[in-house]
Structure 1
Amino acid sequence: MKKIFLIGAMLLFLLGAKAQKNDGTVSSLIKTENYFNEEVAKEGISEAFLKMTGKNGVVFRPNPVNIKQYYNQNPSKATNLSWQPEFAMISKDGELGFTTGLYTLNNEQPSFGHYLSIWRSNQQKKWELALDAGIAHDKPIADAKQVFLDPSDYKYPKLIGPKKMKMREDIVFSTDLLLSKALNQTGNKNFKDFYADEVRYYFPGKLPIIGKANAVNFIYGMGKQVTSYPNFVDRAFSGDLAYTNGKATIGQKKYNYIRIWQKDAQSKWNIILDMYLEAE
């Protein structure tokens, strides 16, 4: 009986390890998200987050805090959180990726929103959660189309020293900083020069706004000056995908923001997802 139990436990462990395994495809990231979701249903929110997160993972509550520290100090056995990825992408080297989609809190009165998970591959080639954030909004009328993107090609310089890597990160940070300066000097019109055509704009209380024209029109429609300043950057070794986060002000209200950046065929960095979270 004891032997059967040990074999069963080993099989569960191997299935869990396989679910988190990064094979360099976006499908491996989707499998990890789905496994993460199943772990919440089985073990509760705290145990699932502690299991899936790297030591430096960050969650916004509402300001950024270490995930492991937060859930060790605020344990929750709740299993009423579920989600469904609808948009995902990974870098050419398979080391950095993100997923986003609808989440549901299944209370007596269900509540809804969109989450953003940023993932890093560790030395064991397993996906670890690097950042978790979300906005609340009304229930969507229709299901969103699923878009899961592998890289269009896998070409990138393989031999890059620490100085070159730091320069790469500095370029992304400087691009975000350039946007910040432009917003200060000439206002919200500058977003159109930094957004990708299919940018996703996430704002508290609003369903995701997709497309540059729609996002810019929403920003103009608020009638409030946006300012922002980055304080963190991380970039894939392959140099094609990155994210920044920092502080923003819209009118008189304070926000945290997270921006996903992608380098296009002309080596220009564009924002493909821009999320705002109410700050303390």
Structure 2
Amino acid sequence: MMNKFFYTIIVASLTVGAYAQKSDGSTKSLVKAEKEFAATLAKSGSKAAYASFAAADGLAFRPNPVNAKTFYASHPDSKDISWTPVYAKVSRSGDWGFTTGPYTEKGDKTSYGQYLSVWKANGSKWELALDLGTSSNKPLNKVTPVFIEPKDFYKPKFLNDKQRAAGADIIATTEKTLNTTLKSYGMPAFAGFLNPDARLLFPGYEPMIGKDNILPFFNSMISKIALKTTKVDKADGGDLAYTYGIATVDYKADLRESFNYVFIYERQADHNWNIIVQVFSPAER
């Protein structure tokens, strides 16, 4: 189950990283930062790449969430991972965004998977906040890149920590409602929480795009999912948010498995929050 995340770390090249990570609030700048991150790893190794691009409190799921810099300081350097963003979006406040796409890991046997990166802007610099992935077979389906720019710019001038916490509580309540509904109705409960164009990254499978593809997958394989939310974060622009935690999955084949999950939420025109990206990565319990 090795992926781009099992070999990496943080150490040098700060000048190059600062230049490469320049943020102007656009999705284009975020995609550029992600590509520069991958290029730095290929050229200088994982230690230099994560040193330049990871936030001081950035988390890597290896398999459970740990501080990326602290954890990878003791891991071997590597240039064996490559990846490409194919879907990205940035908040209208320009303070954070995400990218996802396929990765390849070379070794005795080449392995494949999908990654998700959540980035936050620190001043005018993009920094990696969350980094996780899930393994799959070699991709067969051709994917058209989708990079969505913010529809406008909006950031409250006097937003304080108390107001931010109140905003995050809305997302936490939404996910709590989802969890309660899953307990009562099973997998069909996701129908009321997934955006029509939602994406699912699940171990062993290529990305599933669209609620109409995700729901049949869940319904065919899984009888129950229980969510235990660890953290919620919401963009200052009020349009995007993410959660992560532990998902306990009961398969219809009488098997239970634990996953780390990350859900990306987007606020809709009706003020409801829908999931636009779901990632499940095996957890260590």
TM-score after normalising by structure 1: 0.91
Q: Distance in 1 between matches of 2:176 and 2:58?
A: 23
Q: Does 1:154 align with 2:158?
A: no
Q: CA deviation at 1:174?
A: 1.2
State the AA in 2 paired with 1:142.
N
Report the count of equivalent residues.
267
Q: Is the 8 A contact 2:137 2:204 kept in 1?
A: yes
Q: Distance in 1 between matches of 2:17 and 2:247?
A: 38
Q: Distance in 1 between matches of 2:199 and 2:147?
A: 14
Q: Is the 8 A contact 2:25 2:94 kept in 1?
A: yes
Between 1:163-172 and 1:151-160, the stretch displaced more is 151-160
Q: Is the 8 A contact 1:50 1:71 kept in 2?
A: no
**Within 5 A, what are the aligned runs for 1:17-56?**
17-56=18-57
Q: Does 1:93 align with 2:93?
A: yes
Alignment correspondent of 1:256: 260
Deviations, residues 128-178 of structure 1 (Å, cap 9, x unaligned):
000000011111123311000111222454333332221101101111111
3-state SS of paired residue (2:18): helix
Percentage of pairs with the same residue: 39
**Within 5 A, what are the aligned runs for 1:122-271?**
122-123=122-123, 125-155=124-154, 157-251=156-250, 252-271=256-275
3-state SS of paired residue (2:258): strand
Q: CA deviation at 1:108?
A: 4.2
Deviations, residues 192-245 of structure 1 (Å, cap 9, x unaligned):
100000000111111111100110110001042111121101111111111000
State the AA in 1 paired with 2:93.
D
Q: Distance in 1 between matches of 2:155 and 2:43?
A: 40
Alignment correspondent of 1:83: 83
Deviations, residues 30-87 of structure 1 (Å, cap 9, x unaligned):
110111011101221122112211111111111111101111122x221111111000
TM-score after normalising by structure 2: 0.90
Q: Distance in 1 between matches of 2:164 and 2:14?
A: 35
- Structure 1: tracts of 5 or more residues without a match: 1-11
Q: Distance in 1 between matches of 2:55 and 2:17?
A: 16
Q: Distance in 2 between matches of 1:14 and 1:254?
A: 40
Q: Distance in 2 between matches of 1:266 and 1:180?
A: 21
Q: Is the 8 A contact 1:115 1:132 kept in 2?
A: yes
Q: Distance in 2 between matches of 1:203 and 1:42?
A: 30
3-state SS of paired residue (1:24): coil
Two-structure CA RMSD over aligned residues (Å): 1.5
Q: Does 1:72 align with 2:76?
A: no
Alignment correspondent of 1:279: 283
Deviations, residues 82-113 of structure 1 (Å, cap 9, x unaligned):
11100000001111110000101122432111
3-state SS of paired residue (2:189): helix
Alignment correspondent of 1:59: 60
State the AA in 1 paired with 2:241.
A
Q: CA deviation at 1:13?
A: 6.8
Q: Distance in 1 between matches of 2:54 and 2:214?
A: 31
Q: Does 1:107 align with 2:107?
A: yes
Q: Is the 8 A contact 1:43 1:77 kept in 2?
A: no
3-state SS of paired residue (2:73): helix
3-state SS of paired residue (1:204): coil
- Structure 2: tracts of 5 or more residues without a match: 1-12, 251-255
Q: Distance in 2 between matches of 1:91 and 1:167?
A: 18
